[in-house]
Amino acid sequence: MGRSGRDALAQYLPDLKRNLELDFVVVNGENAAGGFGITAAICERFFELGVDVITTGNHVWDQREIITHFARENRLLRPHNFPAATPGTGCHVYEANGGRRVLVMNVMGRLFMDPLDDPFASVDAALAEYRLGESIDAAIIDVHGEATSEKMAIGHFVDGRASLVVGTHTHIPTADTMIFDKGTAYQSDAGMCGDYNSVIGSVAAPWVGKFTSKMPSGRVPPAEGEGTLCAVFVETDDRTGLARHAAPVVRGPRLQNRWPL
């Protein structure tokens, strides 16, 4: 979320990669450019830091320059349940350390969001092309949405067919990190990388005024204090591709820091 989030990623990700021996890193870049979308330059900076794939969401087209970038960069995903004619893709298989094949999929929920294609059908069709532990070694699904019920339902829907289902969009890390019965790790929201002395990463006062007066305030800029990194760590089984361990990660000020045990 804005410069604070980008700075937090730059500050903490190198140590996380080294200390946790991370093989693959996915970042949701939805609000990286001033809180609204992402630019090609920011994408390149994230890749330099060691990010493997960038997912997005409902703000994906806010920076119009990014539209043509999708044709050149397959490490940048937009929600897969956009109409088929939309630029880019929301599902791709990448190579991680050791030659492992990782499917990453980005979908957007429909509850309280734009009326896109059915995310359940979109996920189901994509997973029908791959078999976890055979044609792919891991599968990560970023569900960008408002409703925890919809995200959790998608998690149960793909249980045993994906390594991780993780939510984004609400900017607050949830405390429900778990592994479902058939081996899929889940968390309703990974949480924001950004300044938590804010309202979902934006300057607080305009949001307070907006709620108390019900008057339009226009775009609210991101808060620019010291950022906190929030993430989800998952260890998968090399044979099955399912989750062996899942835990939240929090590094930075304001929130209680958390580290995978």
Q: Could you say which architecture CATH assigns to the domain 2-251?
A: 4-Layer Sandwich (3.60)
Beta carbons within 8 Å of 214's beta carbon, 6+ residues apart: none
The pLDDT of 35-63, averaged and rounded, is 97
Using the predicted structure, report yes or no on whether residue 208 has a pLDDT greater than 90. Answer: yes
Give the three-state DSSP class for 136.
Answer: strand
Per residue in 77-103, pLDDT (tens digit) is: 999 999 989 999 999 999 998 899 999
Write the pLDDT tens digit of every residue in 12-29. 999 999 999 999 999 999
Q: Which one is catalytic: 59, 69, 92, 169?
A: 59
Q: How do residues 107-138 score in pLDDT, each as one tens digit? A: 999 999 999 999 999 999 999 999 999 999 99
The structural domains of the chain, with segments of one domain joined by +, span 2-251
Active site residue 59: yes
Label the pairing between strands 185-187 and 164-168. parallel
Name residue, tokens 């960038």.
54
Q: Which of 4, 51, 34, 241 is nearest to 134 (CA)?
A: 241
Half-sphere exposure for 171 (CA within 13 Å, toward CB): 18
Q: Tell me the pairing of strands 178-179 and 185-187.
A: antiparallel
What distance lies between CA 193 and its chain's CA centroid? 11
State the Cα–Cα distance between residues 228 and 251, nearest whole angstrom. Answer: 6
Give the 3-state secondary structure of residue 174. Answer: coil
- The tokens 């989800």 sit on which residue? 232
Whole-number Å distance between alpha carbons of 9 and 209: 30
